[in-house]
Amino acid sequence: MRVAPAPEEAPLGRTLALNAYWLPLALQDAALLAIAVPAELVHFAPTSYRNSYAVLVSLVALVNTLLPPVAGAISDRLRRFGRQRRSIVFAGAVLNVGGLTLMACANSALGLGAFLILACVGQTIAVAAYQAMLPENVARTAWGIASGVRGAATLVGTVAGLALASIAAPQTVFIVTAALAATGALALLPLRETVRQEADHATIRDWHDFIVVFIGRSFVTFGLTLLMTFVLYFFRDVLHTGNASAGTGLVGLAALGGAAVSSILLGRLSDRFSRKVIVALAGVPMTLAAAGFAIFPREHDVLAFALLFGLGYGGVLSTGWALALDSMPQLGDVGRDLGIWGLATHVPSILAPLIGAALLAAYGGSLGGYRALFALAALAFAIGSTSVLAVRGKVLAKCNA
């Protein structure tokens, strides 16, 4: 079934509405996985919280690895029959909200983990369909600015999630997150979906650029997961901060403050200049910051390096997404292909917590282990950001429809 193509220039209001759901999704990821869940595990498993959390994060990443290609392909099929992707988004949101609500009632580490997995399944299904709506509803020439808005919404949600989890009890965090996830999904109801005509289903390039971007994203995600998974325990075990959750929140807010400066700006610039160069340059401050964490592991220095890290992360978050859209082999199966591309995020998220936990265990949880962990993250950022320079084709944003 053919339907009207997306308009060549999407109004700013439509672009903002299309990206609004990223805010509660990012809030959920930041509040739960960075602070609320690891803090609750300290209560439920006081002698094994590090290993328990590493296993749980890897299980979450496994769910995120297996489901997106399948859910994305199903949403692609629905679109071919003239259906809305939002039906998949709403189905996933129901599971997500249910899991989050049950997490507030958990009374053991096992129960907490099971309900977290349920919420993760729902969120992953919703995201698989939701992320495919952007390239269908925004002209190629505006993918950079749309990705910048997506990055900004993600940053705002992440800041809000860190702030919420830093000041509220985990049970409160779970309930508030459930309410916001439901509200964000319902906000998509007024949006009228459009899709491009069948001509866009033709193969428009080989898989070379897709593979290059996939590899680069994998290394960046590996380093990012190492930092996010263990930063709360770094404050607790090494810096001996009285309130590790608050310390983690401050680091996150400093990083996101830097990212807010660069996200929309670099996303817009990427519509006019080479995206691969912008992504590669964005990796420089991320690499330097991670190396700084390893060399100067002091609380006031960590905050400064977090700000530096954020300046690069904002560019990777926004421009990297647009570069991923450029590299899609065919737009007719964009939901499936974005799900496959998501493996570059989720597979490293399975491996990084396990490798990080083993590294810290080898050093007995001492400062030396965290230094090695941060140095490994810096190496991953360096490899991941420079590898995208091997992208060789014309970006889709500059191709004719």
Please list the alpha-helical segments (H only) found in 238-366.
244-269, 275-295, 299-326, 334-341, 343-362
CA 271 to CA 397: how far, in whole Å?
7
Read off the amino acid at residue 322: A
With a cut of 50, say whether residue 2 has pLDDT above it: no
Q: What is the CATH number of the domain that holds 147?
A: 1.20.1250.20
Residue 164: give the domain boundaries.
12-398
Q: Helices 334-341 and 343-362, interaxial angle, to 10°?
A: 10
Length of the chain: 401
Q: Give 377's pLDDT tier (boundaries 50, 70, 90).
A: very high
CA 341 to CA 331: how far, in whole Å?
13
In Å, the largest CA–CA distance within the chain is: 61
Residue 245 covered by a domain? yes
Domains in the chain: how many in total? 1
CA 167 to CA 349: how far, in whole Å?
27
For 344-361, write each residue's pLDDT tens digit: 777 787 788 889 988 888
Q: Give 181's pLDDT tier (boundaries 50, 70, 90).
A: very high
Radius of gyration of the chain measured on its C-alpha atoms: 20
pLDDT at 18 (0 to 100): 79
pLDDT at 119 (0 to 100): 96
CA 305 to CA 127: how far, in whole Å?
31
CA 61 to CA 44: how far, in whole Å?
22
pLDDT at 97 (0 to 100): 97
Contact in structure between 104 and 171 (CB atoms under 8 Å): yes
Block residue for tokens 């009890």: 169
Residue 377 covered by a domain? yes
Which residues have a Cβ under 8 Å from the Cβ of 158 and sit 6 or more positions away? 26, 27, 29, 30, 252, 256
Instruction: Check residue 239 and report its DSSP letter.
Output: S
For 153-172, write each residue's pLDDT tens digit: 887 888 788 889 888 999 99
Residue 3 covered by a domain? no
Residue 6 covered by a domain? no
CA 226 to CA 357: how far, in whole Å?
9
With a cut of 90, say whether residue 95 has pLDDT above it: yes
CA 211 to CA 154: how far, in whole Å?
25
**Percent of the chain having pLDDT more than 90?**
18
Q: Give 67's pLDDT tier (boundaries 50, 70, 90).
A: confident
Residue 2 covered by a domain? no
Residue 192's CB is within 10 A of a number of other CB atoms, namely 7
Q: Helices 208-237 and 37-44, interaxial angle, to 10°?
A: 50
CA 76 to CA 82: how far, in whole Å?
10
pTM of the model: 0.67
Which residues have a Cβ under 8 Å from the Cβ of 21 and sit 6 or more positions away? 89, 130, 184, 185, 187, 188
Q: Which one, of 101, 121, 168, 136, lies nearest residue 18 by Cα?
A: 136
Residue 128 covered by a domain? yes
Residue 23 covered by a domain? yes
Residue 7 covered by a domain? no
Q: Helices 109-130 and 334-341, interaxial angle, to 10°?
A: 140
Which residues have a Cβ under 8 Å from the Cβ of 339 and sit 6 or more positions away? 67, 68, 69, 70, 71, 72, 73, 128
Q: Give 331's pLDDT tier (boundaries 50, 70, 90).
A: low
Instruction: Check residue 400 and report its DSSP letter.
Output: -
Q: How is residue 351 written in tokens?
A: 């491996």
